[in-house]
Structure 1
Amino acid sequence: MSLELTPRSTPLVSLEGVTRSVVLPDGAVLGILDGVDLLIHGGDHLSVVGRSGSGKSTLLNILGMLDVPTTGRMEFDGVPVESMSGNARAVKRGSSVGFIFQQFNLLAERTALENVMTPLLYARGRSFWQRERIAAQMLDRVGLGGRLQDKPQKLSGGEQQRVAIARALVRGPQLILADEPTGALDIATGQAVMELLDEVVAESGAALVTITHDPNVAALADRHYLLDSGHLRAGAEVAA
């Protein structure tokens, strides 16, 4: 599949011919991604669907610079990822990528405010020194302004996911990666969470990539992809 050609500005993320493979203990090579091409611009909302084992998590890890391609080319904000050191990737990831996970991954012994403040501990300047106020404002933005001091066990599943969203957005990331963001929620709560996420993303101009098994969640995206046996195809049909 060739790269999408558009007259838009320079993409935030570009993948060209990306593969990812690992060597198994017996020496065999397991191919996970095969020739993936993808362009992501600011403001895009993409969904990627696929069966378990199709490579969705690996693709998400590469987009988030947690992993690097085996072959092919990836650029983030115009910079080739392969030219970055591990530390440079970590710094860029911390400032520019927000992750939202199915299981929330909140710190059980920390309050909602403390959970959302966590990414700001690695920030600099105003974001670091005013981290408590910034985190409180973000929690208020997702409707939890009155639950700042509550720990996760006192929050419903939907409220915990809202804390996770606030944590992902608190540093103003350019790219938000949502891995099965509604998988642990009931249908109504999941829909409310996705509407909130779309609203906040639209206001910020960030790009959103949703990895999901749920066709209803996938249908909310503007562009749809199917990942099948490591091959990414655009325009995948989703059922609303």
Structure 2
Amino acid sequence: MAEELIDLAGVTRSVLLPDDQELHILRGINLSICSGDHTAIIGRSGCGKSTLLNLLGLLDLPTAGELTFMGVPARQLSGNARARLRGSSVGFVFQQFNLLPGRSALENVVTPLMYATGRDFWKRRELAMDMLDRVGLSHRAGTHPALLSGGEQQRVAIARALVRRPRLILADEPTGALDVDTGQAVMALLDTVATESGAALVTITHDVNVAALARSCYRLDQGVLSALSVPAAATA
């Protein structure tokens, strides 16, 4: 039976505007993510996708409701404890890659391991090179981001997200800056690597074609999350 990694029960997220009005971004979100899941959350710009991603990645806490990560209520964790859990268990893949321009592909992938302990720290370059090899870029290890194609940069970003073997992978519009063919290849790679490691993959997207690659789909509209049937393309 798959292990439940994260559970949101009646979660809301609101912010107070300068005029003291409350802006409700997320409303009563119920969502469970288990190990091995591939879940897509689709919605238009401004619907609250990034806010939901921040909650799933323990960057923020709910205004109300309960968020549990690996059996522990997030509210019981200090900011430092959430940061440690996020660093060890959550991998982020961003649309704009967020690679460090002055560092090689290998150095970018090594970066998360600088905060590791024990074997992961001492073997950090070896682990980073192994992950680059898994995404087909070991031959580009010494290359800086400016000399990599968009698809290569995204694969470096994926390697960086996965090098600490996270339990949960959060991909925020991972194909938004890529052409269709490269985007499909990146999503296939991300799904394959996540499946091999038993990690849960959550893709935040506005693209129904990307959502079709997931095994469960949800729509976020005006802060309300509802289940969708998996598009036929995903099961063909």
User: Please, what TM-score do these two structures have when normalized by structure 2?
Assistant: 0.97
User: Partner of 2:91 in structure 1?
Assistant: 98
- In the alignment, the residues of structure 1 paired with residue 133 and residue 144 of structure 2 have an alpha-carbon distance, to the nearest angstrom, of 16
Confirm or deny: 8 A CA contact 1:216 1:239 kept in the other structure. Answer: no
CA offset digits 1:3-58 (Å, max 9, x no partner): xxxxx454110000000000001110000000000010000000000111111000
SS in 2 for 1:35: strand
Q: Which residue type is aligned with residue 55 of structure 1?
A: G
User: Partner of 1:191 in structure 2?
Assistant: 184
Number of aligned residues: 233
Confirm or deny: 8 A CA contact 2:7 2:33 kept in the other structure. Answer: yes
- In the alignment, the residues of structure 2 paired with residue 83 and residue 107 of structure 1 have an alpha-carbon distance, to the nearest angstrom, of 33
User: Partner of 1:60 in structure 2?
Assistant: 53
Matches within 5 A, 1:8-157: 8-157=1-150
- In the alignment, the residues of structure 1 paired with residue 148 and residue 110 of structure 2 have an alpha-carbon distance, to the nearest angstrom, of 17
User: How many angstroms does 1:75 deviate by?
Assistant: 0.5
User: Partner of 2:158 in structure 1?
Assistant: 165
Confirm or deny: 8 A CA contact 1:215 1:239 kept in the other structure. Answer: no
Matches within 5 A, 1:219-230: 219-230=212-223
User: How many angstroms does 1:236 deviate by?
Assistant: 4.9
User: Partner of 2:205 in structure 1?
Assistant: 212
- In the alignment, the residues of structure 1 paired with residue 56 and residue 50 of structure 2 have an alpha-carbon distance, to the nearest angstrom, of 10
Distance 1:115 1:57, change over 3 A: same
Distance 1:54 1:237, change over 3 A: farther
> Where does the alignment leave 5 or more consecutive residues of structure 2 unmatched?
none
Confirm or deny: 8 A CA contact 1:16 1:35 kept in the other structure. Answer: yes
> Where does the alignment leave 5 or more consecutive residues of structure 1 unmatched?
1-7
Q: Which residue type is aligned with residue 226 of structure 1?
A: R
Two-structure CA RMSD over aligned residues (Å) = 1.0
Distance 1:157 1:9, change over 3 A: closer
User: Please, what TM-score do these two structures have when normalized by structure 1?
Assistant: 0.95
Runs of 4+ in 1 over 2 A off after TM superposition: 236-240
Q: Which residue type is aligned with residue 233 of structure 1?
A: S
Alignment partner of 1:178 out of 171, 179, 201: 171
